[in-house]
A and B are shown apart, each in its own frame.
Chain A
Amino acid sequence: MLLLAVLAACLLPLCLASSDSDYAKLKQLAAAGNGLIKLDEHSYNILTAPNRNWSATVQFTALDNKRRCTPCRDFDPSFNTVAKAWSTVPAPERDSHFFGTLDFDNGMATFQKLGIQSAPIVRIFPATDGPRRPASGVTTPISYDLTYGYEPGPLAEQLSKYTPVPIPYKAPFDWGRVGTFAAAALVLVTTLRFISPVLRSRWTWAIGTVLTCLVMTSGHMFVRIRGMPMSGPNGQWIAPGFQNQFGQEVQVVAMMYGLLALAFFMLTTVIPYQTSPQRQRVQVYLWSFVIFIMFSVLVSCFRVKNRGYPFRLFL
């Protein structure tokens, strides 16, 4: 990596020539871009010049729609917010660390040189010269670990380790959320008279409880915590593997569980109230059939997930 960076820099003797004017240019670019430099090949090479006495954080991304990089577009606003937060720092500190974004379409050659195959990537280039050169002497770029998430909070926190002063990022006060909350509370209070029978009805709570149980036992939390997509890349909706699932599976499995539970509920508590023998018989057979079929479907779904499962019903 270092080798490549050095090589890249050596190919362009231009940037070695006048470090001072480069530095001025970077400052100017950063000021113009609201703390963020929109990089191209040339300015990237200036920014990551081998004898820099500044440090830099560079986001490698592909924002163009035709690149179809959804994570890039998700991550970009966070990076920009952090860069903007950095621009509020007093000038001496601010100008010793730069934020830059290199889009794939502006820097294809650089992407190739660095061998970057996926985006977004954030790299921190420590200063190689001057007072801010790391004590350990390690000046190879450091990759930011995107497993911290795409949120600006952890990004600012992690990047602050490499900036001269911590990035003064504060999560913006979420007016929208507070407003929604307040509005909901207001609506609730004003309509309390009318909805209180609904709220006091046990069946409202029953529906809520049963839905919670169904969704939870269908792996909803797995999908949320792991950030699983709704369905697979080529339209498959069952994720392979026993300890794995897609978002769509939650819906399908919860629906099957719900239907089966409903069938049992109907058989036990609703059908006995049916006063016509003929009608009742039809319903009993119908719901028994539903149980049988849905259970078979469920077991066959489970067989897909667990290949070694030896049992099967009619499917």
Chain B
Amino acid sequence: MSGQTPDASTSLQRLGGIRAAAQGRQTTVNWTVALVVVAIAAAIPFLISGYILFQLELVLIYVGAASGLNIAVGYAGEFLLCQVTVMGVAGYVAGILNLQSGWSPLETLPAAILAGVIWQLLISLAGLRIRGLYLGVLSFFAVLVFPDLVLLTSSISGGTSGLIGIAPFAAAGASDFNWLPFEIAVAVAVVSTVIARNLVVSGWGIRLRYLRDAPNALASTGVNVASTKIVSYVVAAIPGALAGWALAYFSQSLTSSVFGVSLTLVLFAGVQLVAPGTIVGPILGAGLLEGYSQLVGPFSQYNTLGLGILLTVVLILFPGGLRRFIVRGDGAAVPPRRRPHVETPLVEDESPTGAPPVNALLELRRAHKERRTAEAPALELRDIVKTFGGNRAVDGVSLSIEGGRIVALMGDNGSGKTTLINMISGFLKPDSGTVLINGYDATGLAASRVARLGCARTFQVPQVVGELTVRENIEAGFLQRSCADPAQAILLPFRARRADRARRQAALHIAEEVGFTASQMGQAADTLPLGLRRRLEVARAIAHSADVICLDEPGAGLNADELQSLSETLKALKQTGEAVLLVEHNADFVLNTCDDIILLRHGVIEGVFTDIREHDLHPDLQRHLRRSAVAAAVTR
């Protein structure tokens, strides 16, 4: 069991680590475990020597590369299979610079990382446009053509005979021969893990998971989806490049076959095997798989055979990774998770100096409210037209909504309500007409840019990230304003933490405002009933400081109590001056909640009824409400 020693020796502790991570208790306990693991790993070269040391070095750097890949695959859900080619490009660049120009390892390091990142971007650029499925195939092809690339550059890369004679980190026989390369391998693994960890504990952890599970919601909070993807690609490539750089010096020679299908499987299946989207998952997974690889020999057909079967079997048996299997033996599809509520006061009313608390985000929101003037209506539509094929779904709608009003958009199915909401929030482009948000032209802008003008929306099927807590989901609304840039999050985690703390506090504030109890704050969103998930989306929209909030069928599927509390949330919102536009069928809910009702029919406004009072309704409105009540009764 040569290849597995560093993992096997501490696997029990690490399983404990996984269990803790799954429950969300991420930091304190794990720090100790992590330090112990690193200390043990660092001591290994002083205890053993020989070929096994080289094999362990490989295990360590592949663990690092898998940790990077986990950012793209596990957290961001972008299925990149080309991590080995990033390693390959970085390794070859380091090796060639060493051989041709005699650069030292320290000098080749930045060049290798740069080359790896550029290669990654070249391959994954198409991912900005295509579905994950095709990105998966495309990036796998990068692995298949990598040998051709090496062949074409034979004059410098050595082609099929390999790149031979790279100077090692420490010369044979030197006093540091045994430990220096190994400690570098440990450093690669540690640095890669820290990069991944620092990024995901910052706001980026939320942002990446939103990209994976609810990209439309991410856009509707003003975050640019494409740039989020690019960050995940770049950060994923850095540990890969580090590993490739180290590999060049470890093996002192490179051939393209190293960066082939087997290693792809080790890395990818390593991420997928135990717990994708956790820090420990790839460490265990890639460690075990590379251990197996070294055991049967990396170039043996049995290696590819075994890894291929393993990937398939693991995917079939445990689509979410072995974690489920480890954490709960009963194989429940979605085990109910409940994160222990962190015992911090809801609002830190006292800062250490005793001065009144200043939370930049809350201040911003307050300032935003005060700045809100009556000059331009929060939302104005001018003559909006949208056709699908020959069907005029929306046919010249003009309306305007002031701040502090709750307006219902009613009408039969197919009258263009949701289409209108989609056009306001930037998910559809109108054929003609103008959308003004706070007086700014938002027509035809991308959803994230519309959101930045001050528009937020919710979705018929609530788009929240199930594995994040209530508080973290609300934090998503702040991300566009309060997300440290990725370099800062990774390199200066303590400075990034400050922004995180402010955001967390602000989110708790808003959670309290919309009526989440203290114990619900730390609960994972997938354990919430539908009503609370709807309210969570509203809270996220509030966090985004939106002036216009569009709600798409907020009442669907809610019981009377849930409707009542949603109604109260919205009415409270009105007090702070937001304009709310909602699409809703439930007449009681609308009459109970809304100020105005706009009736749509075949894409045209049939009537606008202001200051609704339940006992004094316009006959047209009465007719519509009766009809929809009958329709509702029939479908029920």
Partners in one complex: no
Chain B contact residues, CB within 8 Å of chain A: none
